[in-house]
Amino acid sequence: MLETFGHLPIAWLLFAVLAAAGFVSFFAGRTEAVAVGRGSSERLNSQPNYHGYFVAMATIGPAAIVLGLYALFGETLVRGELAGELPQRIRDLGSLELNQYIDRIAEQSAMRDAGPTGNALFDAATARYTSLLGISRIIAVFLALLAAWAGFFVAKRKLSVNFRARANVENGIKLLLFMCAAIAVFTTIGIVLSLFFEALRFFSRVPFFSFIFGLEWNAQTGADFGAIPLFFGTFMIAFLAMLVAAPIGLLSAIYLSEYASPRFRSIVKPILELLAGIPTVVYGFFALQFVAPLVRSTANWVNGLAFVPDGFLAAQPTSALAAGIVMGIMIIPFVSSLSDDVINAVPQTLRDGAYAMGATKSETVKQVVMPAALPGVIAALLLAVSRAIGETMIVVMAAGQRAQITPDPTADLTTITVQIVALLTGDTEFDSAKTLSAFALGFVLFIVTLIFNLIALRVVQKYREKYE
Amino acid sequence: MDGNVEDFTETDKSERAANMAEMIKVDCRNIDVFYDDKQAIFDISLAIQDRAVTSFIGPSGCGKSTFLRCMNRMNDTIESAKVTGKIFMDGADINDHSIDPVLLRSRVGMVFQKPNPFPKSIYDNIAYGPRIHGLAGSKSELDEIVESSLRKAGLWDEVKDRLPAPGTGLSGGQQQRLCIARAIAVSPEVILMDEPCSALDPIATARIEELIDELRERYCIVIVTHSMQQAARVSQRTAFFHLGKLVEYGDTERIFTNPEDTRTQDYITGRFG
Ligand SMILES: Nc1ncnc2c1ncn2[C@@H]1O[C@H](COP(=O)(O)OP(=O)(O)OP(=O)(O)O)[C@@H](O)[C@H]1O
Ligand SMILES: [Mg+2]
């Protein structure tokens, strides 16, 4: 019986029950309010519907909170209980192994028609786990229904002619919105914190400064963890990308917002934004298949020139330049659509002022519109840079794996993101310096892009203040 | 060239006599303006005197700004706008192919309803026009132009110590005077002002009106205003517009004391608009 509860897709049932409870309580509240209104000489403070919403909220809200808490902590409690009941022999394995053992039990339990494995201890533990889960679910459902029941009656007793149901509903909605915002914020904080603590674990094995300032990166062998070559590769490719994206994006934004006819603009702008919808893996493919060979053959041609020393350019099959160019193309719509927005935000009166002084269109753009839009454009470029730094797929496919520091753009470089992927794919144990270094890299990457974004946001804010 | 103007004159005898007595700076003939298919100005002919202030009055949307913008071809910058008719400045057709609208605008300055200083220093705001038109040969000449323009606009004493500060940091009234100084800096012959005081308080307004009165000695000024008192105070000639048509045009004093058209009468006494 308990095992059945451990298996039921109970979440859906609960949703249905709660929705039904919501409906019923809404109509109950509404009816009650109408009756109260009839029985009184005064006018109802709030419309009957609001009384209905209020009761429904009071019914569903507490139940939802109970279930939410269960969803967050229920399994942890069950696992803790199970761990306590396991024989000493297994508990002595250490927290990591123990956790993995329970993971396997949970997995086994989730597979409904999995037969016994033959390992008596394991099978018994699995059965125990399933029934513990069943008990916890029954308790949670019971508590949720109790909360709904209590909420319903408390709310219903509150209804009166003077009850300010409308204001209370308003507060309820505010609370709901706040909780959604809070979830987003806490998730972010949670991710950052876990990244941070994993990074700390790494730094307990590899000194922080030898990581940040080290010039050698050989993480696969677990020998060297100097991140400078990765930073170099990352920034080199981002720089090459910006070399492509900044001028093209910016100038096309100027053309679109200042010169193009509305008709042309209405056709071209969506097409440009379509570029942003292309999956990055397609860009990566494009880089690997077309651009990298092109870069290589061009580099070979340069090497073949009479006055160029032999082997002047590395001319590798994958190269920083190929990845940079394609990443630049990918970022163009990002730059152009953000810049287009800030250029359009420059008040028309400023342009009129310049025209009225006898300035030509390009003078107006260069001397009045662009200076006015500059902070916003800078912000757009910074956001684009942080995008380029965090971009993964293109570099994984087209930049290479070799951690080296060279100014030659036709050499293969590697980036932080590429290394993270390389470190975490395949068979990994989550406890070695090699794997943990991925978290350290991720954390540093996060800090860098955060700084870029913060500066950009700050600049945009300042710019807004000026024109509003 | 003046003979040319004579041929086209369609005004009545007394007007013509007035034209002869007073110098005509801008002569507009049969102006129609369309925004796409919608006509905003209907066959307006109107001659504007030099060294005088002419005010345009009329209810909102009657086409005052549109008509004003014909005189420096600012309507060229609006995609949908189309202007027909002829406008002569000192006898030369400003819509002629040989006239560069960019150069025309250096001869016809404009001040807008909302002060619109460029996002540059006070100095650079004034120096902007002289620079793009190459009016100053040296830094000291430019300094001189900046100072004299600011003096003429009555702003010099307030800003002389902070010329490198951004123009956007001034008060609204100061910004508007900065814009007037900016317009003066290229030594235009005509200054068009579209409701230059509508964003200003009474004191700043009085200050600008004083300024307009001083500038009248040197320039031909056209001002759009919604304030009857302002029109009466600063202008010598007044034109009343209604629904895209010119209803009445004459000496300010006569328009305000003895209007010929009942619509003018109704508007200036505040019965509609
Ligand atoms: N850019 C434009 N595109 C289309 N129609 C316009 C445009 N500018 C003005 N109009 C129309 O032309 C007519 C005259 O407008 P205009 O701005 O000249 O009026 P106005 O007399 O200056 O009014 P106000 O006193 O409110 O400034 C109005 O009907 C207006 O809607
Ligand atoms: Mg107007």
Q: Please write the tens of the pLDDT for every residue from A324-350.
A: 999 999 999 999 988 998 898 888 999
Report CA dihedral (A97, A102, A106, A108) to the nearest 10 degrees.
70
The structural domains of chain A, with segments of one domain joined by +, span: 4-163, 211-463
Q: ipTM score here?
A: 0.84
Task: With H, G, I as helix, E, B as strand and everything else as coil, classify residue A45.
Answer: coil
Nearest chain B residue to A258, by CA? B77
Nearest chain B residue to A261, by CA? B79
Residues 6+ apart with CB under 8 A from A185: none
Among B10-19, B93-102, B187-196, the range of highest mean pLDDT: B187-196
**Cβ within 8 Å of A, B 96-115:** 102-106, 109-110, 112, 114
pLDDT at B9 exceeding the cut of 50: no
Predicted local confidence at residue A40, as pLDDT: 83
Residue list, CB under 5 A from ion ligand 2: B 65
**B186 touches A at CB < 8 Å:** yes
What is the average pLDDT value for chain A, to the nearest integer? 87
- Quickly count: other Cβ atoms within 10 Å of residue A81's Cβ: 14
Alpha helices by DSSP H, listed for A206-222, are 208-213
- pLDDT tens for each residue of A253-288: 999 999 998 889 899 888 888 888 899 999 999 999
B24, burial (CB in 10 Å: exposed 0-12, middle 13-18, buried 19+): buried
Atom of ligand 1 nearest to the CA of B69: 18
Mutate to test the interface with B, among A264, A346, A357 (most CBs of B within 10 A): A357
Domains detected in chain B: 5-268 (3.40.50.300)
Shortest alpha-carbon distance between residue A252 and chain B (Å): 20
Atom of ligand 1 nearest to the CA of B56: 21
Under 8 Å between Cβ of A109 and A3: no
Predicted local confidence at residue B172, as pLDDT: 87
Q: What percent of chain A has pLDDT over 90?
A: 39
Shortest alpha-carbon distance between residue A264 and chain B (Å): 13
Predicted local confidence at residue A6, as pLDDT: 54
**Global pTM value:** 0.74
Nearest chain B residue to A374, by CA? B119
Using an 8 Å CB-CB cutoff, list chain A residues near B103. 358
* Homologous superfamily assigned to A211-463: MetI-like (1.10.3720.10)
- Quickly count: other Cβ atoms within 10 Å of residue B146's Cβ: 23
